[in-house]
Structure 1
Amino acid sequence: MGLKNKDGVDIKDVWKNEGIKSYMGMTFEGFPNCFMIYSPHAPTALSNGPTIIESQADMITEFISSLETAKAKSVTPTAPAQEQWVETVNDLANMTLLPLTNSWWTAANVPGKKVQSLTYILGIQQYEATCREVLDGMKGFEVEYEDGKTKIDQEMPTKATAAA
């Protein structure tokens, strides 16, 4: 893909070494101002493609607009926020039979790949509600502003559970 983090490391190498990590399935620690749709850790495998793409694109567009209004020049998720999201995705999947399969659901079908949960399983409605809570409050993001100030929000989103 050619996407490199702030240290010049390609995302494929980051993911190869550490496993796939994302924050809300849309952004990645160390990759400022990078947003991706229809990617791992979102409900992509459990939803209609255009529906999740539209949902993510709308949320990202609104978030970027709020960043512009706040005169932010750079945004990246914090490492703890990203780790919590990955943990949430894994915890939810572990309540199912998915981790017991050697399939693309867990990347177990690719020799040498880290076996891990790749899909947020609570569906689009819960996913969007959780993401909007995060984005509206800029929870778990490091934001650098045009005036040189930096705000690091360590508040984490409400952890999703199967009861949600």
Structure 2
Amino acid sequence: MQGGWIVDFVDSARKNGYTRIEAQNDAEEEWTRRVQEVTPVPLDSKVKSWYLGSNIPGKKVEVLNWGGGVPQYYEIVENTAKAGYKGFALSSVEA
């Protein structure tokens, strides 16, 4: 599902002449807040692990993956696509 969504997004961007996709800062912050809100802190959150981002010096150790269930995740990404990929900045970069 996620891979297909990404392929569709890239395909849509290319068809519209865009060559670059970047998440907007406010959308990143909102997504992180939502992930933290719905995802229970795992028991291994005290363990140093790339899975929680502790492999990057100075980075906040936190849950990074959606834990709110597949149906809700699917609804979110589909609504994002229907809204013209709101939260992403599309642009073109000359080669």
Task: Number of aligned residue pairs: give it.
Answer: 85
Question: What SS does structure 1 have at the residue aligned with 2:63?
Answer: coil
Question: What SS does structure 2 have at the residue aligned with 1:116?
Answer: coil
Task: State the 1:70 CA deviation.
Answer: 0.9
Partner of 1:81: 27
Q: What is the TM-score with the length of structure 1 in the denominator?
A: 0.46
Question: What SS does structure 2 have at the residue aligned with 1:72?
Answer: coil
Task: Describe the shift of the 1:70–1:90 C-alpha distance in structure 2 as closer, same or farther (beyond 3 A).
Answer: same
Using the alignment, how far apart are the partners of 1:75 and 1:124 within structure 2?
24
Q: Bigger shift: 61-70 or 108-117?
A: 108-117
Partner of 1:126: 72
Larger relative contact order (Cα-Cα within 8 Å, sequence gap ≥ 6): 2
Q: What is the TM-score with the length of structure 2 in the denominator?
A: 0.74
Matched, 1:110 2:57: no
Using the alignment, how far apart are the partners of 1:143 and 1:82 within structure 2?
15
Structure 1 unmatched runs, 5+: 1-54, 148-164
Question: What SS does structure 2 have at the residue aligned with 1:119?
Answer: coil
Superposed structure 1 runs of 4+ greater than 6 Å apart? none
Alignment of 1:6-155 (within 5 A): 55-93=1-39, 96=40, 98=41, 101=43, 103=44, 106=45, 108-110=46-48, 113=54, 114-136=60-82, 137-145=84-92
Partner of 2:57: none
Does structure 2 retain, via aligned residues, the 8 Å contact 1:75–1:142? yes
